[in-house]
């Protein structure tokens, strides 16, 4: 749950910063008055437009920063010129798969981690990053690594990073909008029982209720995003099976069952090859389906 809390708070922090920027611009350039002059209402219409700008702004800023942030936070070594046989093999496999799925060669990297894992990220299909852990290279054979790379390349080719960003943007917009609406309703109900000299307390009430509602709605939005993340993992497994072979993909997933890798940190978790196992309510916040379900889906050719 710590990772989920950090994920929600990261999105909340980005949105909050953008909100402060909006308020500064509004105070200095009179955005509200200009919107009213254009025929836009100053009430919920203003909130809706602000929510749209902040919701998608936060999501796309995260996407734009994802590749560089992943390289720095994970300590990824980018293979610019392969110097070892292992690096040459890794580079050649990704190059071959990129040609098969019709995208430009992504950056290929290795990060230090004892756990077998890999991830893909990037704002565009043709400017992506595919990275594998040292643990994966040590614990898997060539066929299994090829399947894992195919899984990650499928994420890139399917545009999963952009799709999730659009979904996150829509949900951010609704979270911001309805948190303000709830705060407005609560503030209006309370103001009916107070005199006109307590305007400052109304402002504080509005802010506190808005923040609480934003956090609670943010958790609900995260459940939807995690459902989508689990759903697309099945399609990435299918893509990996098409690129490397179904038996290789199944073998790679079985190897992961033995290793029990944890989620990658931050927003890379959704794009790793595997993640934490959840039970009960925690299952709603899982980035990946259970490995046995993914193996069963491949065996039955459901996806």
Question: To which residue do tokens 């430009």 refer?
Answer: 104
Encoded tokens for 204: 């504080």
Taking Cα atoms as reference points, which of 199, 196, 211, 85 lies closest to residue 137? 85
Taking Cα atoms as reference points, which of 179, 294, 192, 290 lies closest to residue 235? 294
Catalytic site residue 233?
no
Residue 111 phi/psi, 5° resolution? -125, 150
- Separation CA 54–CA 80 (nearest Å): 37
Taking Cα atoms as reference points, which of 288, 275, 272, 286 lies closest to residue 130? 272
Catalytic residue among 152, 200, 233, 267: 152
Q: In what order do the strands lie in the sheet with 77-78?
A: 77-78, 107-111, 129-133, 118-121
Q: Is the backbone of residue 111 left (phi > 0), alpha (psi -120 to 50) or beta? A: beta
Active site residues: 152
């Amino acid at each position: 749950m710590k990772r989920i809390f950090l994920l929600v708070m990261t999105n909340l922090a980005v949105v909050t910063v953008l909100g402060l920027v909006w308020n500064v611009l509004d105070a200095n350039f009179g955005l509200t008055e200009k919107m009213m002059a254009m025929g836009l209402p100053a009430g919920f219409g203003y909130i809706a437009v602000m929510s749209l700008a902040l919701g998608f702004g936060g999501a796309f800023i995260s996407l734009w920063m994802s590749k560089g942030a992943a390289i720095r936070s994970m300590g990824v070594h980018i293979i610019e010129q392969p110097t070892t046989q292992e690096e040459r093999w890794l580079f050649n496999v990704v190059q071959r798969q990129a040609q098969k799925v019709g995208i430009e060669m992504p950056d290929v990297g290795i990060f230090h981690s004892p756990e077998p894992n890999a991830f893909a990220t990037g704002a565009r299909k043709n400017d992506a990053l595919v990275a594998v852990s040292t643990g994966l290279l040590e614990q898997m054979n060539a066929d299994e690594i090829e399947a894992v790379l195919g899984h990650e390349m499928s994420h890139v080719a399917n545009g999963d990073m952009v799709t999730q960003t659009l979904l996150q943007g829509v949900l951010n917009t609704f979270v911001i909008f309805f948190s303000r609406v709830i705060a407005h309703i609560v503030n209006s109900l309370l103001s009916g029982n107070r005199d006109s000299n307590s305007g400052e307390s109304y402002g504080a009430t509005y802010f506190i209720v808005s923040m609480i509602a934003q956090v609670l709605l943010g958790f609900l939005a995260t459940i939807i995003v995690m459902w989508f993340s689990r759903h697309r993992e099945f399609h990435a497994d299918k893509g990996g099976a098409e690129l490397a072979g179904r038996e290789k993909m199944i073998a790679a997933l079985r190897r992961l069952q033995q290793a029990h890798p944890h989620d990658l940190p931050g927003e890379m978790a959704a794009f790793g090859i595997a993640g934490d196992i959840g039970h009960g309510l925690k299952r709603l916040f899982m980035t990946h389906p259970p490995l046995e379900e993914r193996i069963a889906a491949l065996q039955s050719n459901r996806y």
